[in-house]
């Protein structure tokens, strides 16, 4: 029942030399290839190609292949958000563009008088617009320091704090951002009050009188910058801290091993890798600085004195809801929309060039 399989003995070297054809195949000679077999490519070990399908089989297989079906379900998920976006953003934008070509006083019973491009020409000639534009540029420059540069310094300082003290430190900086602008304006107006205010009392102790800073042309804008910058500092620190958390610490360790100083590590490693967060903060500051200052201006200075603290958003509000000139307000709004849109496109285009990513 059992057959013993003996190992085959390899031919000796002398026998191999005597037989030029080499040792015989133990399995016997290979069967000859069929006459109709296709020749294999040189150097290929794969079997020869199979016969192609008939044309009718290919058509039937193509008909049996499943076709992608159109599904409405994914569009239903985004339908509420899309409807709200159209209703509250794009529809008012279209109505604003339409109103910019009419003269109307916001009274529903009064007709709209077409004026063509007259509103745009009148807006561009207004001296109030030039002052508001200049003030807006000053606000942007101040907030680039208060909401971009200072958060970097505070976030770098927070890296040296550890344990629960770090959490308390970050919370104290971020809490002002959670306070509403109305409450913030009320608190700072009380602190800057000429009679009984905390800050003027400290100033008198130091030997100089502040007066009413909200009624002085030079002090009203500075007061608005300080109030809004104090409130936005926490948001900037949060964004920069998130960017620092995403930087691999091995880079700093490797640079330290190579003998790099702390200042060199900061300017050549940390700041370049932090550039995406800084570009984001700079873009938000340029686009939203006028919006951030609007509630503070409205509640404390009302754009005064003599328009020294106004900005373009507050100017639009005065045109539309104090002068009741919807056409002028709409024309100015369209111009500002186009200007900020171009700035945003330019900034987004430069983002990849200004940003260094950890690859």
pLDDT of residue 45: 47
Q: How far is CA 70 from CA 67, 74, 79, 304, in A?
A: 10, 10, 16, 59
Q: Please calculate the CA angle 311-315-316 and round it to the nearest 5 degrees.
A: 125
**pLDDT for the residue 3:** 44
Give the domains, in start order, of the chain with CATH numbers: 120-354 (1.10.3720.10)
Q: Using alpha carbons only, what angle is made at residue 75 by residues 71 and 76, rounded to the nearest 5 degrees?
A: 105
pLDDT of 56 reads: 55
Question: For position 77, what pLDDT does the model report?
Answer: 92
Decide if 322 contacts 177 (C-beta within 8 A). Answer: no
Please report the pLDDT score of residue 63 as a whole number: 58
Which residues of the chain are under the pLDDT cut of 70?
1-68, 354-359
Q: How far apart, in whole angstroms, are the C-alpha atoms of residue 148 and residue 235?
A: 10
pLDDT at 164: 81
Say how far apart CA 326 and CA 99 lie, in whole Å: 7
Tokens 């200075």, residue located? 301
Determine contact, residues 100/331, Cβ cutoff 8 Å. yes
Look at residue 57 in the predicted model and tell me its pLDDT.
57
Model pLDDT, residue 55? 54
Per-residue pLDDT at 271: 87
pLDDT at 344: 86
With tokens 């903060």, the residue in question is 281
Among 147, 154, 151, 137, which Cα is nearest to 285's?
A: 147
pLDDT of residue 34: 46
pLDDT attached to residue 53: 52
Three-state SS string over the chain comes to CCCCCCCCCCCCHHHHHHCCCCCCCCCCCCCCCCCCCCCCCCCCCCCCCCCCCCHHHHHHHHHHCCCCCCCCHHHHHHHHHHHHHHHHHHHHHHHHHHHCCEECCCCCCCCCEECCCHHHHHHHCCHHHHHHHHHHHHHHHHHHHHHHHHHHHHHHHHCCCCCHHHHHHHHHHHHHHHCCHHHHHHHHHHHCCCCCCHHHHHHHHHCCCCCCHHHCHHHHHHHHHHHHHHHHHHHHHHHHHHHHHCCCHHHHHHHHHCCCCHHHHHHHHHHHHCHHHHHHHHHHHHHHHHHHHHHHHHHHHCCCCCCCCCCHHHHHHHHHHCCCCHHHHHHHHHHHHHHHHHHHHHHHHHHHHHCCCCC
pLDDT at 142: 92
């Amino acid at each position: 029942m059992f057959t013993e399989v003996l190992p085959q003995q390899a031919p000796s070297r002398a026998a191999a030399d005597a037989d030029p054809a080499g040792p015989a195949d133990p399995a016997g000679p290979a069967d000859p290839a069929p006459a109709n077999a296709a020749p294999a490519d040189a150097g290929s070990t794969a079997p020869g190609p199979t016969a192609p399908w008939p044309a009718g089989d290919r058509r039937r297989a193509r008909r049996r292949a499943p076709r992608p079906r159109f599904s409405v379900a994914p569009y239903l998920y985004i339908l509420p958000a899309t409807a709200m976006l159209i209703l509250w953003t794009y529809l008012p934008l279209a109505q604003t563009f339409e109103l910019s070509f009419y003269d109307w006083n916001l009274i529903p019973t009064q007709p709209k008088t077409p004026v063509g491009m007259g509103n745009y020409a009148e807006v561009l000639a207004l001296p109030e617009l030039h002052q508001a534009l200049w003030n807006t540029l000053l606000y942007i420059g101040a907030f680039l320091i208060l909401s971009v540069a200072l958060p970097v310094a505070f976030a770098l300082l927070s890296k040296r704090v550890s344990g629960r003290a770090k959490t308390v430190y970050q919370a104290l900086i971020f809490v002002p951002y959670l306070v509403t602008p109305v409450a913030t304006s009320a608190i700072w107006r009380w602190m800057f009050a000429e009679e009984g205010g905390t800050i003027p009392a400290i100033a008198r102790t130091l030997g100089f009188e502040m007066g009413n800073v909200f009624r002085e042309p030079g002090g009203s804008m500075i007061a608005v910058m300080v109030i809004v910058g104090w409130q936005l500092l926490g948001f900037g620190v949060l964004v920069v801290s998130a960017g620092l958390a995403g930087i691999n610490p091995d880079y700093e360790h490797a640079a330290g091993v190579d003998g790099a100083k702390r200042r060199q590590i900061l300017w050549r490693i940390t700041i370049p890798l932090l550039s995406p967060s800084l570009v984001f903060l700079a873009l938000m500051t340029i686009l939203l600085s006028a919006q951030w200052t609007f509630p503070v201006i409205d509640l404390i200075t009302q754009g005064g004195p003599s328009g020294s603290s106004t900005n373009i958003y507050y100017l639009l509000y005065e045109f539309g809801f104090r002068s009741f000139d919807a056409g002028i307000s709409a024309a100015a709004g369209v111009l500002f929309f186009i200007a900020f849109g171009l700035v945003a496109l330019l900034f987004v285009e430069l983002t990849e060039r200004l940003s260094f990513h950890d690859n």
